[in-house]
Structure 1
Amino acid sequence: MTNNREPRIPSDRPSVTPATAGPGPQITLRSPAELADALPYMLGFHPTDSLVIVAVHGEGGRFGGRLRVGIPAEPAEWDETARQAAECLIRGSERRGGKPDGIVVFLCREPRGEESGREVMNRLRPLAHGVRLACGALDVPVLEVLCLSAGRFWSYVCPDERCCPAEGSRLAAVGTSVMAAAATFAGLQVRGSLAEIEGRLAPLGGAVADEMERALDRAAVDLVPKILDGATREDVGAETLALARSLMRRMTLAPPAEGPRGADDRDDGLLGHDEAAALILGLQDREVRDVAAEWMEDEEAPPALRLWRALARRCVGAYGEHAAAPLTLAGWVSWSTGDEPTARIALGMALRADAEYRFAQLLHHACNEGVDPEGLRQCLREERRRREPRRRRPAAGTRPP
């Protein structure tokens, strides 16, 4: 029977990491402990509250595509989430070159309140079973299912108490394993946890959020009629881009800060509420956003990314949907500069803010499919050259000063 219901994964959009090939150290993972240790290096971050499934190909067990989705809060949604996740990864693997020969599954959730890691593992058992059934229905066996919680891991598959005891096994200390050494050698980074990366893009709270929402209200009264009026829309766009460039220069000249949290606090302090409100509303114009997307490389990329993150944090209250623009730009700059894990997270958050935001849809799909971003970079460079006035060329037979 065909299921025609709208796909429903409540917690976030699925992010698929394509298989990567190329030179580098080859690591053989022989045990559940080694699989558990490898997970953050496969994704580029420590997943939190996540279902992760990984395709395995060939007799040697080469890892292929990886998919991560949030675990729904309601157990009634787990079977549908398992079905969609399995179908997305397996069908995607088929499109990219071959059906997986097996699947490895990870369930990652931290205890809440007085709950223990073992209780988390037992509570998630129906989800583990649902993923095994969903993969089996597509004729792909599940080779291992691990639960990671409270610094320990459990196998739902291995019955051997010597390697997988009932109380769970401790995860290796960060940076101490063979996998960690190999990843460092290969230049792979683990960019913190999913919660930490999302936290850098999430809206501010408290009194600051109230002040910011009032600034957005004021800006909307002033700017929105001008944006809707064709006679003044171009002027608003030019003012928005000039303000953005000014703030990027301000951020470039700011003294360095200690750690991601300190850096975000510094950037928030550099950005006034009224400035942020004008930029957030100005970026809702597609043409303005497309010009801003050109700041994607070289010396423009770092301050642009800082600015887009800061603006995403200012999309508070009734203006939550407005975050789609700065989140998409943050995802694009991250992808363009080689940080695919952060790009997928930012683009997924953009689609949670506005599921119909077309630019985020296109970038999210392209990033998940392993498309090279250079094609889009070339288009944006060409558009920039076409739009900007030509520089004066020296006359024939003369040298420029």
Structure 2
Amino acid sequence: MRTPAELADALPYLLGYRPEDSIVLVALHDRERRGRFGGRARIGIPAQAGDWPSVSEQLAQGLVRGSERRGARPESMVAYLCQEPGSGESAREVMERLRPLAQLLRRACGRLDVPVIEALCISDGRFWSYTCPGQGCCPPEGEAMGLPGTSVLAAAATYAGIQVRGSLRELTARFLSWETAAAVEQEVALDTASMALVPRILDGESRADVAEEALELAGRIMGRLADAPPVSGTRPADLRDDGLLEHEEAAMLILGLQDRTTRDRAAEWMEGAEAGPALRLWRALARRCVGPYREHAAAPLTLAGWVAWSTGDELEAREALAMALGADPDYLFARLLHQACNEGLDPESIRRCLRAERTGRAPAETEQATGLEAPLGSVAPTPDPRLPGAGTATRRRRRTRPAGNGAGRPSRRGPGTAGVRRRRPADEASPAGEGPVRAAEGTSRRPRARREANRHGLGEDT
């Protein structure tokens, strides 16, 4: 690529989606005087101009240091500012308004001895170069972007199997909380389930029962999702999944996943035939974290990010994990996974640990069948029998453990499964779209419940 037009056309292929309201930095490396793309960093454009200097510094330092950790310091940068015009605003006015931000980015990179060789503003289908010397080489109204998919780069990307998956808004919408009438009903179900489940989670003898009920329910719903007929399009697919999940079922799972042991065992549904239904379930649960329960979305969002990363979809993984940190910045599991994914680590090391944890419970179950006591955490999550590979580990009754040990006896019956009428949310509902962490903390809006959770040792595990 030799021109600003080619660089502007390249951006969606560099990220895998069309960024919106975004600052993007792309590292360039010189190999025999032929530049090659390196790492990329994206962040939303802060609404307040006073935040621009710190964001510019953080973005530049983060990309340079990340590249250095990979053993290749960038030699130059390309900067992009992408934002659509507001009400009554023209694309050129957007470009002029963001010009100080482009200068801040150039200075921040320059202080790191990594010059910005091109800075582009993309707005309303047109682009401008902030590095243009202003001698009539660029029209004041900007240049029109080419039709998507018609450039040489688009052909090369298609040949290489690189796909552009729509806009960033369309990608993140799959995880956003409902904001329709159905959200009110889901909040009521969460309130009701919270009053019933929080005391049981805080009780040492019944905490393990709640975990077993949640995992059994999740397995049944995964089977239900696996049996659903396929539909085309992400929004219709998400609406179909929403209709297969009851409000009471979602409330049980959202609250149950606040327990770190339950969440860690649910993370074992990460590959093979289990991964697809699990990812769909975690997306649907994230959409059900409505109202004051939005912070609870950290658990299903982290699980969704983990499954996406485990199955090779790094783009969805990064966005889901970033949204999990947005819901709860202190969620350790999301922080560690997000860092590992961004640094290009292989998820197989985590998969090996989870496989070992899952298979390690099988000998314990065999011992229990002969009347011997099993070690902690000896029951694997059991998906619906209709899923391929399900039923490989048989649940056995275990002895009740003291509080916080993660063991117990499986419930014979999960809550919210009898006499519940299936309710499909309105079509306007958004389908969108490294260690144990939070347990029962935050399972109730009541400060007293949070204090009780902390007092019983169910908070952050570092």
TM-score, normalised with respect to structure 1? 0.88
CA–CA distance in structure 1, aligned partners of residues 348 and 161 of structure 2? 21
Query: 3-state SS of the aligned residue for 1:65?
Result: strand
Check if 1:186 corresponds to 2:160.
Answer: yes
Letter in 1 for 2:291: G
Q: Name 1:34's counterpart in structure 2.
A: 6
Q: 338, 342, 347: which one pairs with 1:373? A: 347
Give the CA deviation at 1:388. 3.2
The reply on whether 1:324 has 2:298 as its aligned counterpart is yes
Asked if residue 345 in structure 1 is aligned to residue 345 in structure 2, the reply is no
**What code does the residue aligned with 1:338 have?**
G
1:165 positional shift: 1.9
Looking at structure 1, the residues matched to 105 and 146 of structure 2 have their Cα atoms a distance apart, in angstroms, of 26
Match of 1:102 in 2: 76
CA distance in 2, matches of 1:160, 1:63: 27
CA distance in 1, matches of 2:162, 2:189: 41
Determine the structure 2 residue equivalent to 1:13: none
Note the C-alpha offset of 1:245.
0.6
Distance in 2, matches of 1:189 and 1:305, equals: 20
CA gap of 1:280–1:64, structure 2 versus 1, over 3 A, is: same
1:325-379 Cα offsets, whole Å, 9 max, x none, are 0000111111111111111111000000000001000000000111011111111
Structure 1 gap segments, 5+ residues each: 1-28, 393-401
Mapped to 2, the partners of 1:120 and 1:202 lie a distance apart of 27
Q: What is residue 275 of structure 1 aligned with on the other side?
A: 249
Pick from 47, 67, 70: which aligns with 2:41? 67
Name 1:315's counterpart in structure 2: 289
Deviations for 1:79-118, whole angstroms, at most 9, x for unmatched residues? 1110111111112212211321101001111111121111
* Residue matched to 2:111: 137
Q: Indicate which of 10, 28, 48 corresponds to 1:56.
A: 28
CA–CA distance in 2 between the matches of 1:178 and 1:295?
A: 40
The CA deviation at 1:137 is 1.0
Give the whole-Å Cα distance in 1 for the aligned partners of 2:297 and 2:365: 36
State the SS of the aligned residue for 2:236.
helix
Instruction: Say if 1:347 and 1:161 are closer, same or farther in 2 by CA, change over 3 A.
Output: farther
In structure 1, the residue matched to 2:91 is 117
Alignment correspondent of 2:279 = 305
TM-score by length of 2: 0.77
What's the C-alpha RMSD, in Å, of the aligned pairs? Answer: 1.4
**How far is 1:63 from its partner?**
1.0
Task: Compute the displacement of 1:144 (Å).
Answer: 0.4
SS at match of 2:268: coil
Secondary structure of the corresponding residue to residue 200 of structure 1? helix
Q: Which residue of structure 2 aligns with residue 198 of structure 1?
A: 172
- C-alpha distance in structure 1 between counterparts of 2:363 and 2:191, whole Å: 36
1:90 lines up with 2:78 in the alignment: no
Tell me the CA shift for residue 389 of structure 1: 4.9
How far has the Cα of 1:302 moved from its partner? 0.9
The equivalent of 1:397 in structure 2 is: none
The offset of 1:390, in angstroms, is 8.0
In structure 2, the CA distance between the partners of 1:78 and 1:235, relative to structure 1 (3 Å rule), is same
Q: Which residue in 2 is equivalent to 1:211? A: 185
Unaligned runs of 5+ in 2: 367-462
Report the Cα distance in structure 1 between the residues aligned to 2:138 and 2:212, rounded to whole angstroms. Answer: 62
Give 1:206 shift: 2.0
The change in CA–CA distance for 1:55 and 1:272 in structure 2 (over 3 A counts) is same
Of the structure 1 ranges 263-272 and 108-117, higher mean CA displacement relative to structure 2 is found in 108-117
SS of 2:205's equivalent in the other structure is helix
What is the one-letter code of the residue matched to 2:90? S
* Structure 2 equivalent of residue 46 of structure 1: 18
1:131 Cα shift?
0.2
Q: How far has the Cα of 1:132 moved from its partner?
A: 0.5
Instruction: For 2:20, give the aligned amino acid.
Output: T
2:198 counterpart of 1:221: no
Shift of 1:160: 6.5
Question: Shift in Å at residue 139 of structure 1?
Answer: 1.2
Deviation, 1:162, is 7.0
In structure 1, give the amino acid aligned to 2:342: N
Q: Deviations over 1:1-59 (max 9, x none)?
A: xxxxxxxxxxxxxxxxxxxxxxxxxxxx1111111111111111111111000111113
Task: State the match for 1:18 in structure 2.
Answer: none
Question: Which amino acid in the other structure matches residue 235 of structure 2?
Answer: R
Name the SS of the counterpart of 2:317 in structure 1.
helix
User: C-alpha distance in 2, partners of 1:134/1:235?
Assistant: 54
Distance 1:303 1:364 in 2: 22
Length, aligned pairs only: 364
Look up the SS of the partner of 1:115 in the other structure.
coil
Are residue 152 (structure 1) and residue 121 (structure 2) matched?
no
Residue 255 of structure 1 is aligned with which of 218, 226, 229? 229
Which one has the largest radius of gyration?
2
Percent of residue pairs identical = 63
Give the Cα separation in 1 of the matches to 2:219 and 2:141: 55
Q: Are 1:361 and 2:335 counterparts?
A: yes
**Pairing partner for 1:81 from 26, 30, 55:** 55
Secondary structure, in 3 states, of the residue corresponding to 1:274? helix
- Give the SS at the match of 2:127: strand
Q: Which residue of 2 aligns with 1:174?
A: 148
Letter in 1 for 2:289: C
Distance 1:306 1:161 in 2: 54
Q: Which structure has greater helix proportion?
A: 1
Distance 1:95 1:341, change over 3 A: same
